[in-house]
Amino acid sequence: MQVGKTLLDQDKMQLVIERLCHQLLEDWGDFTEACIIGIQPRGVLLSDRIYERLKVLTGDMPIEYGKLDITFYRDDFRTEAGPLTAYPNKIDFVVAGKKVLLIDDVLYTGRTISAALSALQHYGRPRAVELLVLVDRRFNRQIPVQPDYAGISVDALDEAYVKVRWRETHGTDSVLFFDKKQDVTPAGVSI
């Protein structure tokens, strides 16, 4: 396996986000009785972009948008390295009866999405929930969760990393794939 293979560069990542937005508009229409929820912290980087692009594509129609922290719903809340850091919830609306688009960057084991579904219940019982991810790691699922929308699908076993880099945190956008067994981390990749 090649170390540090770029699956999506900045231009391709923008095309994938654009495609996802058009798929959403085709399926969801004007987002009436619907909302977008980004999962803190990394899913929010994707959901911010999806939300902003949808506003442009819909002519600035109002779309309810929130950010959900799942820290205290995770089954690995207490780790040997110490407790995880919580992020603020930013949901100023009730999701009861709405169709919810839940957004995260990478779907791997399904545990993050399971925790997000539990956390979401505190804001009301949604009519439906659909999942959008930038990367669907199709192997090693521990919970039966599948995305409704995926930017790319990657067949990556436990021996591989799939890392999403965002210009807001890394200075550039990309999706990288590399082998965990390698002693050398690819240049520019923060783990």
Selected from 3.90.1200.10, 3.40.50.2020, 3.10.20.30, 3.40.50.1860, the CATH number assigned to the domain covering 10-156 reads 3.40.50.2020
Over residues 135-185, the pLDDT tens digits come to 999 888 899 999 999 999 998 777 788 899 999 999 999 999 987 765 444
Please name which of 187, 181, 189 lies closest in space to residue 160, comparing C-alpha atoms: 181
**Cis bond before residue 83 (omega within 30° of 0):** no
- Residues 116-132 have a mean pLDDT of 95
Mean pLDDT of the chain: 88
Over residues 62-84, the pLDDT tens digits come to 999 999 999 888 765 556 666 67
State how far the Cα of 144 lies from the Cα of 66, in Å rounded to an integer: 25
pTM: 0.88
Reduce the DSSP state of residue 93 to 3 states and report it: coil
State how far the Cα of 105 lies from the Cα of 125, in Å rounded to an integer: 24
Please name which of 13, 20, 26, 9 lies closest in space to residue 51, comparing C-alpha atoms: 20
State how far the Cα of 63 lies from the Cα of 53, in Å rounded to an integer: 11
- Residues 85-96 have a mean pLDDT of 90
pLDDT for res 183? 41
Please name which of 82, 50, 53 lies closest in space to residue 67, comparing C-alpha atoms: 50
